[in-house]
Amino acid sequence: MSHSHAGIALPTAISTLNELFAWRVRQTPQGAAYRQFDPGSKQWLTHTWQQIAARVGNWQRAIGALQLAHGARVAILLPNCVEAICVDQAVLALGLVPVPMHALDNPASIGYILNDCETALLVLTTHDQWRAIATCEAMPALKLVVVMDGPSAAPAASATPAAPQLIAMSDWLAAAPQVPPASPARQVRREDLGAIVYTSGTTGKPKGVMLSHHNVMANIRAVLERVDAAADDVFLSFLPLSHTFERTAGYYLPMAAGSCVAYSRSVALLAEDFKSVRPTVLVSVPRIYERFYARLQEQLAAAAPLSRSLFALTLYIGWRRFCRRQRLATDGRMLDTALDGVLWPVLERLVARKVLAQFGGRLRAAVSGGAPLPQAVGQCFLALGLPLLQGYGMTETSPVVAANAVDDNWPATVGRPLSGVQVRIGERDELQVHSDSVMLGYWKRPQDTLAAMTADGWLRTGDQAVIEQGHIRISGRIKEIIVTSTGEKIAPVDLELAILSDPLFEQAMVIGENRPFISSIVVLNRKLWHELASKAGLDADAADSVDAPAARTQLLARLQAATCSFPHYAMPRAVWVAREAWTVENSLITPTLKLKRLNLLARFDAEIAAMYAARRPQAAATA
């Protein structure tokens, strides 16, 4: 793939997100904009920018006919798809405010958000979805619910404060006026809201982050200077469009570059979609790389000794080559050897290329953000030749603050701040940010907005960091520090990442606040648990098998092996196995896959009490 430029400079006249879309349509009307799998023909269909513009126009006429007030909120509760983009663009062009929502969020959370931001119009997928939401909360501001799937003869009762009008999308769009609505009385300005994006709510109710058109456009321009993207790039999109990371880096950024975005069918089919789409750019959270890594570890465990040795040699030499290219300091074992130049082409063909083929074989930039990437995972893929770039940001910064670049990649850090982004270290080593991408504030929460900022106007990130040679290294969360009853301080996220490096553990949360020692609740990989249980002479399908002393002892040994690099006091001394996975639907994780710690602590209150009931830690571990 050729890239004739180091970055794209957008015309300065573009100041809003709807202007960005209109400019892209004018620039490359016949260019490939989006690819989506069509279940009917079982083929990937490509849509040009001109075709997307026509669909946006249809939505614009339908929504415009509602004559909503400037700045009215429109909630978009759809999976990643072409229709979600069309709704978003129509809403923006009309001077309204999109409220992107996670299609898999639980009904109570969705109801809360719809009521909190006083949504006037909701677009969602199914009638069942709406029925579940409608029972959770009164939404007096909601006038119309447009349902994407389902029978065209949807009930269309008159709207009342208790029941908004419900209509099928196909009927509604077909009935849209053919004449475009009159231009909005007030043109869209850069300081207008470009979205209200609700934070995940890991420790309480979600908060609506108000991002202006200018906030997001400033971030797009800065990211384009750091990450090279072009019209011949293909992005594979699977992170929800309700996530600011995906909105900026996987939606508006490729629009600015004229790249094509392919929408994955589902996370379950991601491995197949990689091979079909063969993306050149990937925007992801660490969990996807962790899953690929865990699968790789499983395959290696079952492989012949020669294959394992070849893989280890590939990682050893590959990592050494990466460090040389990035001019990173290494220890004595990593010195250059003349054999590298001879061995690498062979190892790349036999090992590295086969592994990277699982990503489609064309990736030239794989971005990881949203959470810390475990060191072993990052080092493995970088050694194999995958250009894995860690970045850092938050919803409140639209979202990217810093990122590594292909030719300036220090994987122990989250890279250098973007152009126009100022960072500093404040009290308690807190990273603080000042830039045009920092939010306007939290919707209807002036006190929370005030608390998020310093007296001189810098955003408090809540993350602890150090700045080394211009690169930011995140060292922990200010709020997420466990202090045991013995006074020891432990960062739970780091400990949980270490536990998850063992593929046996699918999910993990550590506990220990005001407790005498650290314990952990885990969700097991079903296949690996069956293998472990079989070796221990246990019936893996028996409900009480994970409670057997032999099982607890083995699980604890695995936990302690995974956390052996931590101080002794940080290693878990008791374990409890959760019987079901933690999902968005059961309200135990957020739509961005972060743990909802308060919900988990409440759900497993009795089990946690049981772990600590024994007098001695070891007794609790094996009871």
CA-closest candidate to residue 160, choices 171, 173, 144, 175:
144
464 and 486 in a single domain? The answer is no
Q: Are 420 and 412 in contact (CB under 8 A)?
A: no
Same domain, 55 and 88: yes
pLDDT in tens, 426-475: 999 999 999 999 999 999 999 999 999 999 999 999 999 999 999 999 98
Average the pLDDT over 360-375 and give the result: 91
pLDDT of 621 reads 35
313 and 445 together in one domain: yes
- Evaluate if residue 623 carries a pLDDT over 70: no
Section 155-169 average pLDDT: 68
Confidence grade of residue 330 (pLDDT, cut at 50, 70, 90): low
Mean pLDDT of the chain: 90
133 has a pLDDT exceeding 80: yes
With b for 16 or more beta-carbon neighbours within 10 A and e for fewer, the 78-95 pattern comes to bbbbbbbbbbbbbbbbbb
Tell me, what's the pLDDT at 489? 76
- pTM attached to this predicted model: 0.84
CATH of the domain at 383: 3.40.50.12780
Mean pLDDT of all residues in 236-260:
96
Give the pair of three-digit tokens for residue 458: 């810098």
Tell me, yes or no, whether 509 and 462 share the same domain: no
Beta strands (DSSP E) in 94-160 are 97-100, 121-124, 144-147
Looking at the fold, whether 377 and 321 belong to one and the same domain comes out as: yes
- Tell me which range, 405-409, 494-498, 588-592, is most confidently predicted by mean pLDDT: 405-409
Shared-domain flag, residues 419 and 536: no
Residue 539: pLDDT over 70: yes
CATH number at residue 512: 3.30.300.30
Mean pLDDT of 3-28: 85
Is there a single domain that holds both residue 469 and residue 327?
Answer: yes
Residue 618 — pLDDT band, cuts 50, 70, 90? very low
Do residues 228 and 7 lie in contact, with contact meaning Cβ atoms separated by under 8 Å?
yes
Q: Residue 147, class by beta-carbon neighbours within 10 Å (0-12 exposed, 13-18 middle, 19+ buried)? A: buried
Q: Which domain holds residue 171?
A: 17-188
Tell the residue number behind the tokens 């962790």, with chain if given: 290
Confidence of residue 204 (pLDDT cuts 50, 70, 90): low
Number of structural domains found in the chain? 3
pLDDT band at 332 (very low <50, low <70, confident <90, very high): very low
Q: Is residue 147 part of a domain?
A: yes
